Structure 1
C-alpha cells in the first residue's frame, strides 16, 4: 500500500509560524512521526511539500498516474481558496483525507469552508501534529488495499 502525504503552502514554516495555532513542531518532525507510524502499519509513505499551487496539482496528477492507494492532504490556506487543487484531487480514484493542525471550524469565518471537503473521504482537524497520524491511520484503513476495508 502506498500513501501520499501532501503538505501545502507555508507548511514548511511550521515551528516558526504562529505557534498559538500550529504549535512548535516542524514539518520534518511530522514527516518523521508519520514515517514511524507508516512502518508500524506496513505501508509505504511518500511526503511532498510545496508553496506553488501548480506544483501541488502536478504532484496530484503524478499520484493518479502512479496509482497511489490513498492521499492525505493539508493544503493550508489553499483549502479555502483553490478550486484548482480541488479539481486535481477529484481526478484521483483513491480515498483522500483532508487534514489540518488547527480546528478550522473554530477559527476565522473564511476558514470554515474547504474546497477540498467535497472530494475527501473525511476531514481531521484540531489535534495538532496528531491530526496527521489520525489521517494516516484513516487513509490506511479506507484504502482499497486495506486488509479490512470499512
Structure 2
C-alpha cells in the first residue's frame, strides 16, 4: 500500500509500505527521500504520534493513500548534545554541565581567533560536507595540519 508523508513546513513523499513495515523503517525511507535525519522526525496520524517499534498494522485506520504528518524536531544544540554525551560517559549531572560549559567556552574562544578567511573556508567545507561533494585539495605550501586550529 502507499502512504503519503507530508511535511508540515512543505514537501511530501509517497512511500510503498507493507502492513508489517515498522514506523522506524518509514522514517528511514523519509530520511532517504526528504533528507531529514530519523532522530529529527516525528510522524503523526490524526494528531497522535506513531511509535517507532509499532508496525503499520498496529494502526488499523491507516489505509492505502493515508497521509501521515511529519513534524521536524529542532536538532539539539552543542550544549545539550555535549551534556547528554558527558552523562553517557558516566559523569554526574553537575559534572556533565560543567564539562559542557567548558567545551562551549573553548569552542567560542577558538572560533573568535579564526580569521575571516578561515571562517569562509570552514563554512564552505561544512556546505560541501552536507551535500556530499568532495573538498578541493589543500595547498601544498600550507604547513599547518589543522587548518582551523581547533
Select the structure of larger CA radius of gyration. 2
TM-score normalised according to structure 1 size: 0.24
Going by fraction, where is helix more abundant, 1 or 2?
1
Q: Which structure is richer in relative contact order (CA contacts within 8 A, separation 6 or more)?
A: 1
TM-score normalised according to structure 2 size: 0.24
